[in-house]
Structure 1
Amino acid sequence: MARSADKHDDKKRELLSIAEKLFMEKGYQKTSLDDILRASGISKGGFYHYFKSKDEVLSESINNMIDEVLAILQKVVDEEKLGALDKLNLFLSEKSKFQSSKAEYAKLLGVLMQTDVSQYIYYVTVSRKLVTPLAQIIRQGVNEGIFDVQFPEETADILTRIINSVMQSAPYLEYLSDAEKHKRYVSSVQTMISRTLGLKAPIKLY
């Protein structure tokens, strides 16, 4: 049974990789299920054995990416020796480092986030998975008297949306390649986060 499950997972990952490549080359909306079937050599019935729809492929892709970064970020949250401000700086730094290591995927997300469906899936997933660890850091900062926040969970939700909102922007790919535009974006986000948390000095986003 274990070997059969492994084969199933391997094939599912293969289909996911093929679909992601097509999304990046053709765009999510212009990639049809038939495109995925032709590229993978699988039948429609075979495809439905792994995924219910193209939207589920997208959802799975986003979930995998967020689970991977969440495993890294949760280690920061659980670090008992760090104060809240150091945790926040490290949390954001590790998130940025992860994104930099996934440059091709960042470009893919930039393409995907231009559609309403993908935006919805992405933000629902992010809210469900990344808000909680960020809220833990904010709550710790409130207890330490560093952050001036009344509602940590809601504030974490808002900040998560701010941090990730650049992917909704039409010039997102320019932010990835243009150093000056990237710098201005980072500076703006740093200011918004700092003011939201009641900090006098800007946090170090990157």
Structure 2
Amino acid sequence: MVRTIKAPKIRFAELLDCAQRLFFSRGYDNTTVNDIIREAGLSKGAFYHYFDSKAALLEALAVRMARDSMTDLQPVLDDPTLDPISRLNGLFAGSRRLKIEYAPHIRNTFEVIFRPENIVLFHRMDQAVTAVVTPALAEILRQGNAQGVFDAPDPLAFAEMLLQFRLSLGAVMNDALQQAKAGNVDAAAEALEERLRLYGLAIDRVLKLPDGTIEMAEKGFARALISVESS
């Protein structure tokens, strides 16, 4: 049988495709490296040429999904009819919409990173995704500065710091997911929504906007994100 030689970029993408299919259908925990190798039709050596672990593959998948999301949200970022506040809220609203759309798959795949024992993986993935999102957020802040709407003296630094607020969501998200699994969906959703509300409030305070200007949550979002009914 003739071995098919493909460019590294193509092999890399194919491994991500296989991992995404398996993680989405089985869950991260229930998918092994051997499962991914069989799905991709590669040797174990070939797999480890691209990724040193299953966790590294998960990190790369998160980055690709973040890039795809930013591509989907580009029309909001480019809309000339939107002012900087509307553009910022549109960015967050679009992100929420995509999270709800893929909620069962996201839970299956990424729930693992919110566990306390996986704090290093959580930080690695956060840093990788932050690198993808920061430029777009910084550009919105620059536009807001120019129009006198935001007070962000260094837009790039402020964008990075605003995204770092997400680190406080890890423990809250893990607790909400565990409560939801135990049947306490209402309490879990309420706690998560309140933390998201405070996240938006923190952004308001940093940018010196009226409280409630930036919306990080909307009614039903937290429940849709953590509900295990459709998993």
Specify the TM-score bucket, using the shorter chain as the normaliser: 0.7 to 0.9
1:166 aligns with 2:169: yes
1:176-191 residue pairs with structure 2 within 5 A? 177=185, 178-191=188-201
Equivalent residues of 1:76, 1:90 under 8 A apart: yes
Residue 174 to residue 113, structure 1, CA distance change in 2 (3 Å): closer
Report the counterpart of residue 28 of structure 2 in structure 1: 24
The count of aligned residue pairs is: 200
1:86 aligns with 2:86: yes
% same residue: 25
Equivalent residues of 2:176, 2:191 under 8 A apart: no
> 1:33 & 1:172 partners in 2: Cα distance?
29
1:112 aligns with 2:143: no
Equivalent residues of 1:23, 1:112 under 8 A apart: no
1:145 aligns with 2:148: yes
Is 137-146 or 159-168 further displaced after alignment?
Answer: 159-168
> Aligned partner of 1:55: which letter?
A
> Aligned partner of 2:193: which letter?
K
Equivalent residues of 1:37, 1:44 under 8 A apart: yes
Residue 104 to residue 154, structure 1, CA distance change in 2 (3 Å): same
Equivalent residues of 1:58, 1:118 under 8 A apart: no
> 1:67 & 1:175 partners in 2: Cα distance?
31
TM-score (norm 1): 0.79
Cα shift at 1:158: 1.2
Residue 148 to residue 174, structure 1, CA distance change in 2 (3 Å): farther
Equivalent residues of 2:114, 2:122 under 8 A apart: yes
Selected match of 2:205 from 195, 203, 206: 195
> Aligned partner of 1:138: which letter?
L
Residue 139 to residue 154, structure 1, CA distance change in 2 (3 Å): same
Report the counterpart of residue 63 of structure 2 in structure 1: 63
Cα shift at 1:146: 1.1
Residue 194 to residue 116, structure 1, CA distance change in 2 (3 Å): same
Report the counterpart of residue 204 of structure 1 in structure 2: 215
> 2:120 & 2:32 partners in 1: Cα distance?
15
> Aligned partner of 1:110: which letter?
E
Q: CA RMSD in A?
A: 3.1
Runs of 5+ in structure 1 lacking a partner? Answer: none
Report the counterpart of residue 47 of structure 1 in structure 2: 47
Cα shift at 1:57: 1.3
Is 138-147 or 9-18 further displaced after alignment?
Answer: 9-18
> 1:74 & 1:165 partners in 2: Cα distance?
27
TM-score (norm 2): 0.71
Q: Is the partner of 1:24 in helix, strand or coil?
A: coil
Cα shift at 1:70: 1.0
User: C-alpha deviations, 1:27-61, integer Å up to 9, x for none?
Assistant: xxxx6534655787754235346645323311221
Residue 73 to residue 12, structure 1, CA distance change in 2 (3 Å): closer
> Aligned partner of 2:197: which letter?
S
